Chain A
């Protein structure tokens, strides 16, 4: 009797589980269709002719005979009406993002190595202060940083419009990132100290230990840190907008430049706006497709642990 009820209960719960899976599949399918839709719309609009954008607003893809690449081809010619700066914006974004990731990796890994494998006075105090600094709101640090940027730029002749100076202010403020330091320190802490100690007693220099032993072990954490740095640098809007205001349009990054197209009004430029968005999306999309599992796992573990 007892075993009988248990048996029916089991198949009942199995049935239940199947029902759950079906319902969640259907709901998620609907949601994902909605989620993908804006991307499809963007891509479809970027392939419409200007005439088609005006006459065929209800369909997301161009009508027959109105497929065109003109919004994309416009970028290749450096002279055009409005868009001729796009290649420069892309290059600016790529340079700023690349250098941001590079400096973040160098500065943050070196520091976390020191925090884990060296003994020095006040180590824990310094780290505690750094952790505490994470609670400082952006607003507080942003204003004086901009003031410093403006004052120094004003004080030294020609500096305000110096490309290297502006780039430096775009890149460096994000480099000493305490959260990255914390992530990497956590990982380095999991490396057995014996490995480093024995390498040291074999006469290996700390620099050698750092890049021959520790860095290869930390590959996946480094990957994660660079991914987050890449995405946040490429997408940053508030700070670059502040730094680049009043500067020549050739200084702008693609994310900042796109704000000019974001308004709901200007329909004569919608095709170009969409094509520019596609361009701005491509690097992110490539990185995302290659690394999405790593990114998602990394986010999940850092989010859960913190």
Chain B
């Protein structure tokens, strides 16, 4: 082998090594932050959940195995609060999640008819999605206030004000209304883009067959927006299992400290200094709750998975094209 070839090989090796170093340099900030704020907490969380642990008194740490998890199935304050909060959240979600799919879908359907000024309508419907839940709390708290000064009470029932935020059922209704106003926008935008992407020729094919409007919607629209519908459902489901902001800000004096969702429970117990000796238990609760959330998302993913085939009209249309 000549010297030149060896030199070239050496150069190439040097080059590769240099590039390798650069690659590590480029990825390392991300990986470092990821390890510190995701990987380590993940491991630590699991270890803590197996211990009696107090972040302000590390020497008292003792390993106690899975008994923190067993506490969740026992008869104690934490277990009772947790299951009650989970129940409330799930009941709310059964109503709220369909509302937050169907209403945005309906609005997307209307926008897709492209009436004059539809871009302005679109921006207005989307706007509440970018504001913070605390602003939503201030607004809906004033509009639906228990007091006779609240807007709805002042308009309709100033003589004997309706306790919108104290009565449990009414309060959850206000939370639902606030949620719809606040979060319709995001799903609405995604779904209207999906509707826009449905091929027109499919509609025409179905119309030729004499399909009615409803049939058109079921056989053409729905199968074609299934992907986006899956994403929207996935995001909404996770968001509402993790319900936190709405019940935190929409309250009155008598239910200010109520725990209405698992996230509120975890947040409030972590936050209270007196309960810091229970950190292991809270950690176990958080992991257990996290697993429930994951279970729901896996079920959702499984149900929305693309089956082979497609809708009746799609198959016919494809056969016709071929």
Report the interface size class on chain B: 35 or more
Beta-carbon contact of B110 and A147 below 8 Å:
no
Stretch at the interface among A67-75, A78-86, A218-226, A294-302: A294-302
A143 to B53, CA, bound (A): 12
Task: Give the interface SS of chain A, mostly helix, strand, loop or mixed.
Answer: helix
Residues in B227-282 with C-beta less than 8 Å from chain A: 227-228, 231-232, 238, 242, 244-245, 248-253, 256, 262-263, 266-267, 270-271, 273, 276, 279, 282
- CB of A140 within 8 A of CB of B287, answer yes
Complex interface: stretch among B2-10, B73-81, B94-102, B121-129: B121-129
A300 touches B193 (CB 8 A): yes
In the complex, what residues of A have CB within 8 A of residue B271's CB?
Answer: 241-242, 245-246
Residues of B within 8 A of A76 (CB): none
* Cβ proximity bits B172-191 to A, threshold 8 Å, 1 near / 0 not: 00000000010000100110
Known: A53-B149, A136-B290. A148 touches B41 (CB 8 A): yes
Interchain CB contact under 8 A, A264 and B252: yes
A212 to chain B, nearest CB (A): 15
Chain B interface residues (CB < 8 Å from chain A)? 19-20, 22-24, 26-27, 29-31, 33-34, 36-38, 40-42, 44-45, 48, 53, 55-56, 58, 107, 110-111, 113-118, 120-128, 130-135, 137-151, 154-155, 158, 164-165, 181, 186, 189-190, 192-194, 197, 227-228, 231-232, 238, 242, 244-245, 248-253, 256, 262-263, 266-267, 270-271, 273, 276, 279, 282-283, 286-287, 289-290, 293-294, 297
Nearest-neighbour CB distance to chain A for B242, whole angstroms, equals 6
**A258 and B238 in contact (CB under 8 A), knowing A147-B48, A238-B245, A304-B227?**
no
Across the interface, B145 reaches (CB within 8 A) one of A32, A231, A267, namely A267
Residues of B within 8 A of A111 (CB): 26-27, 29-31
Does A12 make an interface contact (CB < 8 A)? Answer: no
Contact of B155 among A58, A148, A287 (CB under 8 A): A58
Question: Which of A38, A150, A154 has most B Cβ within 10 Å?
Answer: A38
Given A141-B37, A245-B271, 13 more A-B residue pairs with CB atoms under 8 Å apart are A42-B138, A138-B263, A139-B266, A140-B45, A142-B266, A143-B279, A144-B40, A176-B30, A206-B19, A238-B244, A241-B271, A263-B137, A304-B190
| CB 8 Å contact bits of A54-78 with B (1 = contact, 0 = none) | 1001101000000000000000000
Contact pick for B165, options A29, A264, A274, CB 8 Å: A264
> Closest CB of chain A to B58's CB: distance in Å?
7
